[in-house]
Structure 1
Amino acid sequence: MLRAWYQSSPWLRLLRPLSVLYAAVASRRRQRFLSDPSLVWRAPVPVIVVGNITLGGTGKTPMCIWLICYLQSLGLRPGVISRGYGANKVVGFPHLIAPLIDQPGEVGDEPLLIARRCAVPVVIDPDRPAAARHLLANADVDVIISDDGLQHYALGRDVEILMLDAARGLGNARCLPEGPLREPARRLASVDLVVSNGLAADTAGTFAMQLAPTELVNLRSGERLAPQSWRAGREVEAIAGIGNPQRFFSTLEGLSLQPHGHAFPDHAQYTVDSFAACDPAKPLIMTEKDAIKCAGFARDNWWYLSIDASLGDAFVSALQQRLDGLPD
């Protein structure tokens, strides 16, 4: 369906009545929370929601990691809440991630990645207010970042950051099931900041975000190399289980490598047999999110590409302006 949505396939018009109904229900639901504050739980600290209105990857996790680093540079103590997509209910909700103990199949790949990489407290729970309360009760934080959750209106928020994919945009700009939107496109006008992942430069009302490769990390040894250290034109196997795998493969091509790409579903679970189609004689490069799930059976020539989000001064200024306007 993703391909049809983003290529505006004509047959999708057959689903328009359902799409119109979905949009109406989504709008009515949001309005219900806006008109009745008693339905909304507000945390005693600022809450920043990073979300999207489209299905498919938009770069929410890199944005959250950037936010964590930025807030820490201001002397703040951020914590993160997440649904924990793919988490095993056996761990129980809410659950404060133990980064050195928990496994991706138990708590979800993206929350574990954030907890390990940023060393900040991360709580998973599909109930966002419950996650926020648990975080505040069990960690010393003074600002909460909600990784996803734009549509979870029971959690009050002080700043909304809406993520887009520059290559895909809004697709055919229709709500589910005719299109990829979780809410009508007019929702963009109501958020605080709109960020487009892969946009070359800021435009009116939209800030550009680029994902910059920083280093290649060996899954077994931990060896770290500059991405440009391998010779140009080197053939590599590449796997990506993210919302937009082609973006990762294009990044490798931008490093002058020749990737043989293997796309997997977002949040895919792997075994060593998952990569049977890969040539074992060639280096295998994966995303950091995939590496979290493959470290236990990695081979000597398996690497992940570490990527950092890059945002311009205009975004930093706009974000800071909103943070300065929050009550103490």
Structure 2
Amino acid sequence: MTAAFARLLQRHWWRPRLTPLTALLAPSAGVVGAVAARRRTGARAQPLPVPVIVVGNVIVGGAGKTPTVIALVALLRSWGLAPGIVSRGHGRADAGALLLDATTPADAATPAAFGDEPLLMHLRTGAPVAVARQRREAALGLLAAHPEVDVIVADDGLQHHALARDIELVVFDGRGIGNGWPLPAGPLRERADAIWPTGADTPPRFILVNGRWPAPPARALPAPRERCFEARRSLGGALSLADWSRGATATREALLALRGRPLLAAAGIGDPERFFAMLEAEGLAIARLPLTDHASFDPLPWPVGTDDVIVTEKDAVKLARRPLGRTRVWVATLDFGLPDDLARALRDALPARPRSA
């Protein structure tokens, strides 16, 4: 599939009903939905000795899983827990298990080794992160290396049914479920009826909407309204890439100081337009440079001699050790918070399971 056709198809996904183009793909979508359902119902996962909270989505592309994991780790710590993170590590060449923690040498903690999102989650939280294609393998390795971990947060593990879970937190953005069809006719990884499963053995599931919903022309969400929560999301501030790499704190003053300065905004995330709109809402004058999700930034995607570039933290992890010439790179940070009513619901649902179980 060419990039141009992929962009065209995605524009059709986010319409409320099938179009002539997506209708042609509906038979294939039925197969995808049936296979996903079979995998879900046929899964027999063995529980882990600590509770597991899975953060995932049922749409392709970015919906805000990474900031949700970061916020969730902070919430769990505020309860006196010691969370660890497991993830696949998108883009890694090695499918085996690998551990990222405070003992990992700086020259080994790279996006190529761990993936951009696991590296960012570790940098932002300090929590140990285990990556592997098989999330259970990652979880067992994490628990063996860090016996203090008493709860696991699984990043992007909703469809990884070999990993037992105690709570599922499903993340959407303001686009909702698009036309409500599975791939390739729509943006869903599963059938729409899988968004709210009703089986007796289904773990507690909560919906986190990363943005205002429904945003026209989004379809209604097939889930109880009382189990749907809206995240708090805004730009927190900005700082230079060098300061960000040293762990300095972003400030609103630095972000607002970029007003009136020509900026190239580059974003290799699932929905670059969301980032661009947030920058413009802060009064920044930007030229847009949308990139594919998980873009490598090798080579640098902007013209030689570009003065100022602003990026997301997910992209900053891939630029931190790169020679940038005369270009000044700024990092815009995200202020993302879980709503209080969701926090209470999660605490009520979290099982008490001693590590020795």
TM-score for both structures, normalised by structure 1: 0.90
Is the counterpart of residue 194 in structure 1 residue 207 in structure 2? yes
Indicate the residue corresponding to 2:182 in structure 1.
Answer: 175
Q: Is the 8 A contact 2:176 2:213 kept in 1?
A: no
Q: Is the 8 A contact 2:49 2:353 kept in 1?
A: no
Letter in structure 1 aligned against 2:184: P
Give the share of equivalent positions with the same residue, in percent: 38
Q: Give, in whole Å, the separation in 2 of the partners of 1:180 and 1:9.
A: 13
The structure-2 alpha-carbon separation of the partners of 1:300 and 1:231, relative to structure 1 and needing over 3 Å to count, comes to closer
* Of 316, 321, 328, the match for 2:348: 321
Deviation at 1:204, TM superposition (A): 4.2
Is the counterpart of residue 308 in structure 1 residue 313 in structure 2? no
Structure 2 gaps of 5+ residues are 1-8, 198-203, 215-223
Indicate the residue corresponding to 1:216 in structure 2.
Answer: 238
Deviation at 1:230, TM superposition (A): 1.4
Q: Which digits, 9 at most, give the CA deviation of each residue in 1:140-184, with x for residues without a partner?
A: 310000000101111110000001111x21111101111111111
Secondary structure of 2:152's aligned partner: strand
Structure 1 gaps of 5+ residues are 34-38
Indicate the residue corresponding to 1:93 in structure 2.
Answer: 96
* Of 313, 324, 327, the match for 1:288: 313
Q: Is the 8 A contact 1:271 1:294 kept in 2?
A: no
* Of 162, 177, 181, the match for 1:154: 162
Indicate the residue corresponding to 1:72 in structure 2.
Answer: 77
Q: Which digits, 9 at most, give the CA deviation of each residue in 1:275-304, with x for residues without a partner?
A: 11x7623x2100001010011224562111
TM-score for both structures, normalised by structure 2: 0.83
Is the counterpart of residue 238 in structure 1 residue 283 in structure 2? no
Q: Give, in whole Å, the separation in 2 of the partners of 1:302 and 1:173.
A: 39
Q: Give, in whole Å, the separation in 2 of the partners of 1:112 and 1:289.
A: 9
Number of residue pairs matched by the alignment: 317
Q: Is the 8 A contact 1:41 1:129 kept in 2?
A: no
Letter in structure 2 aligned against 1:42: P
Secondary structure of 1:146's aligned partner: strand
Q: Give, in whole Å, the separation in 1 of the partners of 2:243 and 2:160.
A: 41
Q: Is the 8 A contact 1:219 1:300 kept in 2?
A: no
Moved more, 193-202 or 255-264: 193-202
Deviation at 1:105, TM superposition (A): 1.5
Deviation at 1:231, TM superposition (A): 5.7
Q: Give, in whole Å, the separation in 1 of the partners of 2:10 and 2:98.
A: 32
Higher helix share: 1
Q: Give, in whole Å, the separation in 1 of the partners of 2:243 and 2:209.
A: 35
Moved more, 301-310 or 117-126: 301-310
* Of 6, 19, 26, the match for 1:16: 26
Secondary structure of 1:220's aligned partner: helix
Indicate the residue corresponding to 1:36 in structure 2.
Answer: none
Q: Give, in whole Å, the separation in 2 of the partners of 1:170 and 1:215.
A: 30
The structure-2 alpha-carbon separation of the partners of 1:200 and 1:232, relative to structure 1 and needing over 3 Å to count, comes to farther
Moved more, 311-320 or 98-107: 98-107
* Of 36, 53, 58, the match for 2:63: 58
Q: Is the 8 A contact 1:220 1:300 kept in 2?
A: no
Moved more, 193-202 or 54-63: 193-202
What do you get for the CA RMSD once the two structures are aligned? 2.1
Deviation at 1:206, TM superposition (A): 1.5
Q: Give, in whole Å, the separation in 2 of the partners of 1:204 and 1:10.
A: 35
The structure-2 alpha-carbon separation of the partners of 1:221 and 1:23, relative to structure 1 and needing over 3 Å to count, comes to closer
Q: Is the 8 A contact 2:306 2:327 kept in 1?
A: no
Deviation at 1:29, TM superposition (A): 1.7
Indicate the residue corresponding to 1:46 in structure 2.
Answer: 51
